[in-house]
Chains A and B, each alone.
Chain A
Amino acid sequence: DTAVSQTPKYLVTQMGNDKSIKCEQNLGHDTMYWYKQDSKKFLKIMFSYNNKELIINETVPNRFSPKSPDKAHLNLHINSLELGDSAVYFCASSQEGVAFFGQGTRLTVV
């Protein structure tokens, strides 16, 4: 069974659209994250949730809204997509500081 799974794996959409990426972990971890990896492979944290509560919000535009319905799920909704949002988005969960990553969602805004 996949430990951290996110869907979809690929997402191609037009500017101005709204899209969501879903993430689920079956590891029983309390902490989940969203990271953004740009074309130069820089990996930057966006959000962190601990037991459904927002812990970190790293100056991400408010077009990005995470939602955690329970501690096993952390979804990312993006409004009014822009070209600069194109990137690979990774969900992760952690236990004792070690992160487990999903396979990534490659978002392409055209």
Chain B
Amino acid sequence: SQQGEEDPQALSIQEGENATMNCSYKTSINNLQWYRQNSGRGLVHLILIRSNEREKHSGRLRVTLDTSKKSSSLLITASRAADTASYFCATDRGGATNKLIFGTGTLLAVQP
């Protein structure tokens, strides 16, 4: 299977704490993206990191990428109850197909 793996599968933290999710993938990539899915909703794009980048920030989000280890991490700082959702990484190999391969997801629960 081409599908990436994420860990942990589930994470429960208190408001104000940081949450770290990891993603491993199998093939070379053009970019890696993180998406968020609230219960019963569609996925929403959060951040994209290109294969030649090592770290990227967006607000309370910090993403790292290690192409030698084929892994990425998503850090959410100062978490809020509203951050409760499933988080997915997705890899794009580039080329004409624009095909995103999604990871298995991490379910984050932020307790108020």
Is A68's CB within 8 Å of the partner chain B? no
Q: How many residues on A have C-beta within 8 angstroms of the other chain's C-beta atoms?
A: 24
A104–B3 CA distance with the chains assembled, in angstroms:
21
B45:A41 contact, CB within 8 angstroms: no
Q: Is A56 an interface residue (CB 8 A)?
A: yes
Inter-chain contacts of B88 with A (CB < 8 A)? 43
* Chain B minimum-CB-distance residue to A94: B98
A90 neighbours in B (Cβ, 8 Å)? 42-43
B interface residue count range (under 10 / 10 to 19 / 20 to 34 / 35 or more): 20 to 34
Is the pair B98, A42 in contact by a Cβ cutoff of 8 Å?
no
Contact B92 A97 (CB under 8 A): yes
B102 lies within 8 A of chain A by Cβ:
yes
* Interface status of A31 (Cβ within 8 A of chain B): yes
* B44 with A101: CB separation less than 8 A: yes
| B60 lies within 8 A of chain A by Cβ | no
Give chain B nearest CB distance to A79 CB in angstroms.
Answer: 25
A43–B103 alpha-carbon span in the complex (Å): 8
Does B24 interact with chain A (Cβ within 8 Å)? Answer: no
Q: Which of B38-88 contact A (CB under 8 A)?
A: 40-45, 48, 86, 88
In angstroms, Cα B35 to Cα A92, docked, is 13
For the complex, is A98 an interface residue (Cβ under 8 Å from B)? yes
A108 at the interface (CB under 8 A from B): no
Q: Which residue of A lies closest to B48 (CB)?
A: A98
A92 to B44, CA, bound (A): 11
| Chain B residues near A (Cβ < 8 Å) | 3, 30-31, 33, 35, 37, 40-45, 48, 86, 88, 90, 92, 94, 96-102, 104-105, 107
